[in-house]
Amino acid sequence: DTEVTQTPKHLVMGMTNKKSLKCEQHMGHRAMYWYKQKAKKPPELMFVYSYEKLSINESVPSRFSPECPNSSLLNLHLHALQPEDSALYLCASSPWTSNAGELFFGEGSRLTVL
């Protein structure tokens, strides 16, 4: 079983909805990540938090808004999404903050935007 927990596992939302994806880890990792994965494609990095501060934003549209309330939690707030945003959203954590090595992924939240 993964030690990174993501909720919800599945989410269907309309283009005008506001929803949030949640991620939690209790491994004491200080780096947390959001990735987006489309079918038959590799994961694409969206955001990285180090010590609860945003360290990388891969030019993600503002309709995706990350938040790191504390060292164990990571949220991704969603608003006014487009159908092409439908994908698997993966949260990951890493014990390394300066040199990414091992990533521990959650099972993902499968998002469908209608």
Nearer to other proteins, 80 or 88 (CB): 88
Question: In the set 14, 38, 102, 114, which binds other proteins (CB under 8 A)?
Answer: 102
Q: Which residues of 67-96 are buried (b: 16+ CB within 10 A; e: fewer)?
A: ebeebbebbbebeebeeebbbbbbbbbbee
- Beta carbon of residue 18, minimum distance to other proteins (angstroms, whole number): 25
Q: Letter for the amino acid at 6?
A: Q
Nearer to other proteins, 45 or 73 (CB): 45
For the segment 37-66, give every residue that binds other proteins (CB under 8 A). 41-43, 45, 48, 50, 55-56
Question: In the set 64, 94, 111, 113, which binds other proteins (CB under 8 A)?
Answer: 94
Q: Does 90 contact other proteins by CB under 8 A?
A: yes
Distance between CA atoms of residues 50 and 30, nearest Å = 6
The widest CA-to-CA distance across the chain, in whole angstroms, is 38
